[in-house]
Amino acid sequence: MLTHCMEDYVETIYRLQVRKGYARVIDIADHLNVTPPAVTRMLGKLARRNLIVYEKYRGIALTSEGEAAGRFLLERHQLLNRLIEIIGLQDAAELVVEGIEHYINRDNLERIKKFLDLVERHPEVFKEVKSE
């Protein structure tokens, strides 16, 4: 099991690799608002867990396990953002998502996904909630 902090790093690396094709220490540090030495320390921990391949000054690559985790973490974040938007908490959406995302497991995420699909097929169900 990954710590919340490790999850944030894996998700960030995955996002960067999807968007830019690569992830650098400085990019991760900027995204997470931490120092480059803090990123380097965490990369060592992630490498020991076989989530990334990291060579100092060479680059960072997610392993197949790391990529699967990153994909899940990004999907979880996006689904929770959709949920928060649907129930009308836009003002604090990012804070709410950051606060709860680490506590949602795969089974619960699948239930949220099914719920969101249903609501999107039948938006009239939540008109009352959003209008309040």
User: Domain residues of the chain, as ranges?
Assistant: 4-67, 70-127
Residues 15 and 62: beta-carbon distance below 8 Å: no
With cut-offs at 50, 70 and 90, classify the pLDDT of residue 123: confident
Task: Read off the tokens for 1.
Answer: 């099991």
φ and ψ of 122, to 5 deg:
-135, 70
Q: How many Cβ atoms sit within 10 Å of the Cβ of residue 118?
A: 10
Please give the CATH number for the structural domain made up of 4-67: 1.10.10.10
Buried b (16+ CB within 10 A) or exposed e, 78-111: ebbbbbbebeeeeeebeebbeeebeebeeeebee
Residues 102 and 7: beta-carbon distance below 8 Å: yes
Q: What would be the CATH architecture of the domain defined by 70-127?
A: Orthogonal Bundle (1.10)
132 has a pLDDT exceeding 60: no
Residue with tokens 């790391």: 66
With cut-offs at 50, 70 and 90, classify the pLDDT of residue 16: very high
The confidence score (pLDDT) of residue 131 equals 59
129 has a pLDDT exceeding 70: no
Reported residue count of the chain is 132
Mean pLDDT, the chain, whole residue set: 90
pLDDT digits (tens, 9 = 90+) for 63-117: 999 999 999 999 999 999 988 888 877 677 788 888 889 888 889 999 999 999 9
Residues 76 and 104: beta-carbon distance below 8 Å: yes
The confidence score (pLDDT) of residue 29 equals 97
Q: How many Cβ atoms sit within 10 Å of the Cβ of residue 49?
A: 15
